[in-house]
Amino acid sequence: MDLLREQVKTLAGELALCISSSERLSEKAASDPEDLHLQDQMRKLKDEISEKQGHMHELEQLMLGSIESTPRASNNIEMSQALSKFATQLNEKTFDLEIKSADNRILQEQLQMKMSENAEMQETVLLLRQQLDSLLVNNSGQAGNLVASTNCSSEQSRENRESKVEIGSYEEGSSRCKCNADKSLSSQVLKQDAEIKNLKQDNAKLTEERDGFATDNQNLAEEASYAKELASAAAIELRNLAEEVTKLSYENAKLTGELAAPKESAYCRANALSRNPEDGMLIEELQNELIVRYQREASLEAALSERIRRESELEKRLDEAKQHEEDLENELSNMWLLIAKMRKTSIDPEDSYLEGEQKINVPLKSAQNEYPSSNHARNGTSEPGVSCGNMEELSTLEETRAGYETEKRRCRELESIISKLKGQDLNGLDIAALEELQDLHVEAITKICHAKGFGRFDEQLYSHACIKLTRIIHQLNRLTWFSST
């Protein structure tokens, strides 16, 4: 499309130039109708103009065929683009045409002024020619008079010579008259010669001015022909633009009709829908449901964002708790190292137990008050009722083992519960139940520690149980802290 459009533009420009040149040649042929060369050129230009017009018509048909062959959607888009392009081109061409018309008006005004000046100069030249002709006629008359006077004087001299004898005094008077006449004639001839020279100079000046005016007139004629060519080219461009505008208006009307058809169908559908009240009610219900769903989605998104925020906060708190747990485990390992050192150096277990109590912060003073005789039993002192003490030790050992098994089972349950609670909300936890579990595990730890005080409990089992129970207590403390916050 763009290529065809450019070809049409170039052909239109060439056609305008050919038409302007043909008009110029027709003007020359009108002034000189017998010139065969001009007629041949005009015939060639007419053939070229007809050929270019046919080529332009073919290109326009191709453009219309390409426009009709494209799909309707692309046709609408391309036509809208073409309309915008043609509108811009039309505005540009109209602006150029206005500029050219203004220049043409200015040139026409200048041409009229020059033509009026040229007419005035021609009138002055004619007047000067008339004056020159009259002067020449006067000069020729005066010259004839001089010749006649000279002839008369010669005849008179002859007559005087013949009649010398007759009248002497008359000869003297006639000779004086002749001298005076000759002097006056010579003075008149000199004056006329000077006037003739002046008139010749004036004639030369006038001829020079006439030649200058002729050159100016020729230049103005050339400018006028150029202005006519510009005006003809502008008229051709304007005619082409008018044709394009008519085509575009026709296509625009077609497109508006095509666009109005779906609008009318949609309007008919809207009228049909408005006629059916049940459908209108269904549409309103669907719109209300859609609004409710949008609101629900917005609330769910807000809740999800709030949950994500709380999960991030809980993750931060869990990370802090893990760090705190690691610190406590490090302290517990340090405590066990201290206990091992105490065993090697045979330090009093009650003192070591008190130091371990200070390390893990577990209240075990009640257990020491329950079993005050553990030191005596460890030192090997024999007191009355040793068998009763052994039975009590065995019973406490079995109780602690059973308590260890139950605590181990509870530890597993608590670990599973804690793993579940890490991904859930902690607002629903019972703080009293957690504190009760904490007290229960503290009591179990005190019992295990007292069994350790009797020296008949497995070391590995004891250490494993203590580590497990301290972890569970720490996790319970953390959960109570989370639930309270």
Q: Are residues 52 and 110 in the same domain?
A: no
**Is 465 among the domain residues?**
no
Q: Are residues 21 and 132 in the same domain?
A: no
Task: Report the C-alpha gap between 404 and 444 in whole angstroms.
Answer: 8
Task: Report the C-alpha gap between 141 and 147 in whole angstroms.
Answer: 10
Tokens matching residue 471: 């972890």
CB 440 within 8 Å of CB 414:
no
Q: Are residues 62 and 198 in the same domain?
A: no
CB 453 within 8 Å of CB 409:
no
Whether the full predicted model's pTM is greater than 0.75, yes or no, is no
**Is 39 among the domain residues?**
yes
Exposure letters 39-67 (e unless 16+ CB within 10 A, then b): eebbeebeeebeebeeebeebeeebeeee
Decide which of 20, 35, 70 is a domain's last residue: 70
Q: Are residues 48 and 131 in the same domain?
A: no
Q: Are residues 239 and 107 in the same domain?
A: yes
**Is 394 among the domain residues?**
no
CB 367 within 8 Å of CB 447:
yes
Task: Report the C-alpha gap between 361 and 473 in whole angstroms.
Answer: 11
Q: Are residues 20 and 45 in the same domain?
A: yes
Q: Are residues 30 and 64 in the same domain?
A: yes
Task: Report the C-alpha gap between 244 and 236 in whole angstroms.
Answer: 12
CB 300 within 8 Å of CB 325:
no
Task: Report the C-alpha gap between 442 and 276 in whole angstroms.
Answer: 77
Q: Which amino acid does the sequence have at 269?
A: R
**Is 313 among the domain residues?**
no
Q: Which domain holds residue 4?
A: 1-70
Task: Report the C-alpha gap between 399 and 447 in whole angstroms.
Answer: 9
Q: 459-484 and 431-454 are packed helices; what angle lies between their axes, rounded to 10 degrees?
A: 160
Task: Report the C-alpha gap between 324 and 28 in whole angstroms.
Answer: 113
Q: Are residues 93 and 119 in the same domain?
A: yes
**Is 254 among the domain residues?**
yes
Per-10-residue mean pLDDT for the chain, 485 residues long? 72 77 78 77 84 81 67 61 72 72 74 80 82 77 56 54 50 55 69 78 81 79 76 76 78 79 68 58 82 87 88 86 84 80 61 42 37 37 42 61 68 63 48 56 56 47 60 63 56
End-to-end CA distance of the chain: give it in Å, rounded.
Answer: 75
**Mind listing the pLDDT tens digit for each residue in 18-59?**
777 777 778 777 777 777 787 888 888 888 888 888 887 887
Task: Report the C-alpha gap between 281 and 286 in whole angstroms.
Answer: 9
Residues whose CB falls within 8 Å of the CB of residue 485, separated by 6 or more in sequence, listed in order: 317
CB 16 within 8 Å of CB 49:
no
Task: Report the C-alpha gap between 212 and 154 in whole angstroms.
Answer: 51
Q: Are residues 111 and 255 in the same domain?
A: yes
**Mind listing the pLDDT tens digit for each residue in 400-447?**
667 667 766 766 666 666 565 555 444 444 555 555 555 655 555 555
Measure Cα distances from 286 to 79, 211, 272, 280, 430 in Å: 40, 97, 18, 10, 45
Q: Are residues 121 and 224 in the same domain?
A: yes
Tokens matching residue 243: 């044709």
**Is 120 among the domain residues?**
yes
Domain count, the chain: 2
CB 232 within 8 Å of CB 19:
yes
Which long-range contacts does 241-249 make (Cβ < 8 Å, 24+ apart)?
Answer: 241/89, 241/90, 241/93, 241/94, 244/86, 244/90, 245/86, 245/90, 248/82, 248/83, 248/86, 248/87
pLDDT of residue 143: 55
Task: Report the C-alpha gap between 46 and 44 in whole angstroms.
Answer: 5
Task: Report the C-alpha gap between 187 and 199 in whole angstroms.
Answer: 18
**Is 457 among the domain residues?**
no
Measure Cα distances from 301 to 293, 304, 308 in Å: 12, 5, 10
Q: Are residues 193 and 106 in the same domain?
A: yes
Instruction: Classify residue 362 by its DSSP letter.
Output: -
Decide which of 234, 260, 286 is a domain's last residue: 260
Measure Cα distances from 80 to 140, 240, 311 in Å: 86, 20, 56
pLDDT of residue 202: 81
pLDDT of residue 22: 78
CB 174 within 8 Å of CB 156:
yes
Q: Are residues 231 and 105 in the same domain?
A: yes
Phi, psi (deg, nearest 5) at residue 425: -80, 140
**Is 372 among the domain residues?**
no
Measure Cα distances from 347 to 340, 353, 371 in Å: 10, 10, 18
Decide which of 260, 277, 310 is a domain's last residue: 260
